[in-house]
């Protein structure tokens, strides 16, 4: 690989962030990469560290989940360095989208032997995101899906957090303007996706890709918890266009206005509030992916080959 020095950012608060990474670091160094290691307990320290050290390295490696990636993304854009991913979170949706293995040494092999691929980013009120931004149910989910719950219950934690978030979510009215087309809705969730996967493996749209230059929008209308469970397979696979309880749109610029200011989560972290202006930023960041990676939805086998 061309790069010789990498800044390794480790979030010790991610699900397996406290695990011993010595074998992974040894692998990286054996394959010609000198590692500058930085460990953090607070996500807000991550961007500062990247900005401070980026002039001394050739790439940034982030060990964490999607929340850690979200904490790093603005600084990554500013520094213009390629990103290597070591997925140590719960959902690892960005890694899933990019076909990056969850076994850390195998993920390290992508960093040393993969290829660079340029992806889009979403941006809302100036904040970049990788996967999805949400208002309503998913934003409420962020409060319940705690680090402690994720560590204790892993994937079961997501199911329980959805249940608890649903109980706290109230329907809201919103005005959505997508590339000039206006939709007024009563909803329990509005999601705007840049990538393909979110929420631990759900799919924003079955033909979504992280480099297609589009934002995929869906609006989930009020429904009972049991109907939500019935709808879950369609949410999981991104097959929402024929669902009466879901409105689907696609565009490059989206504005969402609500009667009262509401939290907006990006990649599972509350980062801004409505009114919210979203846009896609094409070819915004270079990421190291498997040599066989195919970003298009029809190449699903290659996308999941390492999962």
- Whether 5-120+283-303 and 127-282 share one fold: the answer is no
Residue with tokens 């980062």: 271
Write out pLDDT tens, residues 265-292.
999 889 999 999 999 999 999 999 999 8
For residues 120 and 2, what is the distance between their CA atoms, to the nearest angstrom?
A: 23
Q: What topology does CATH give the domain 5-120+283-303?
A: Rossmann fold (3.40.50)
Write out pLDDT tens, residues 7-35.
999 987 665 545 678 899 999 999 999 99
Instruction: Identify which of 79-83, 88-92, 299-303 has the greatest average pLDDT.
Output: 79-83
For residues 138 and 141, what is the distance between their CA atoms, to the nearest angstrom?
A: 5
pLDDT of residue 150: 59
Q: Is the dihedral of CA 42, 39, 92, 159 positive or negative?
A: negative
Which pLDDT band, with edges at 50, 70 and 90, does 181 fall under?
Answer: very high
Residue spans per domain, the chain: 5-120+283-303, 127-282
For 142: left if phi > 0, alpha if psi spans -120 to 50, otherwise beta; the answer is alpha
pLDDT of residue 218: 93
For residues 290 and 299, what is the distance between their CA atoms, to the nearest angstrom?
A: 13
Over residues 85-99, the mean pLDDT reads: 92
What pTM, to 2 d.p., does this model score? Answer: 0.85
For residue 114, pLDDT over 50 is answered with: yes
Which pLDDT band, with edges at 50, 70 and 90, does 200 fall under?
Answer: confident
pLDDT of residue 198: 87
pLDDT of residue 156: 62
Give the β-pairing of 215-220 and 189-193: antiparallel
Q: What topology does CATH give the domain 127-282?
A: Tumour Suppressor Smad4 (2.60.200)
Q: 75-84, 136-145, 179-188: which range is least confident on average?
A: 136-145
pLDDT of residue 69: 95
Over residues 184-191, the mean pLDDT reads: 93
CB 198 within 8 A of CB 93: yes
Q: 17-31, 56-70, 119-133, 286-300: which range is least confident on average?
A: 286-300
Average pLDDT, whole number, for the chain? 85
For residue 242, pLDDT over 60 is answered with: yes
């Amino acid at each position: 690989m061309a790069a010789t020095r990498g800044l390794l950012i480790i979030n010790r608060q991610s699900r397996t962030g406290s695990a011993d990474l010595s074998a992974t670091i040894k692998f990286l160094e054996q394959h010609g990469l000198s590692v500058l290691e930085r460990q953090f307990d607070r996500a807000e320290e991550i961007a500062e560290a990247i900005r401070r050290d980026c002039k001394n390295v050739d790439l940034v490696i982030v060990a964490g989940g999607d929340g850690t990636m979200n904490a790093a993304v603005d600084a990554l854009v500013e520094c213009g360095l390629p990103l290597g991913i070591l997925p140590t979170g719960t959902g690892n949706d960005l890694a899933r989208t990019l076909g990056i293995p969850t076994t850390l040494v195998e993920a390290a092999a992508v960093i040393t032997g993969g290829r660079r691929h340029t992806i889009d980013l979403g941006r809302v009120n100036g904040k970049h995101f990788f996967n999805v931004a949400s208002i309503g149910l998913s934003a409420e989910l962020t409060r319940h899906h705690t680090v402690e719950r994720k560590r204790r219950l892993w994937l079961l934690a997501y199911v329980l957090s959805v249940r608890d978030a649903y109980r706290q979510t109230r329907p809201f009215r919103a005005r959505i303007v997508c590339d000039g087309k206006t939709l007024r809705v009563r909803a329990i969730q509005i999601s705007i996706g840049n990538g393909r996967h979110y929420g631990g493996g759900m799919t924003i749209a079955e033909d979504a890709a992280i480099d297609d230059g589009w934002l995929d929008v869906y609006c989930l209308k009020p429904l009972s918890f049991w109907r939500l469970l019935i709808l879950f397979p369609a949410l999981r696979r991104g097959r929402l266009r024929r669902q009466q309880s879901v409105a689907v749109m696609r565009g490059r610029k989206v504005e969402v206005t609500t009667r009262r200011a509401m939290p907006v989560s990006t990649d599972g972290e509350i980062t801004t509030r409505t009114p919210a202006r979203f846009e896609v930023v094409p070819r915004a960041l270079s990421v190291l992916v498997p040599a066989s990676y195919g970003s298009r939805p029809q190449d699903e086998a290659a996308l999941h080959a390492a999962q």
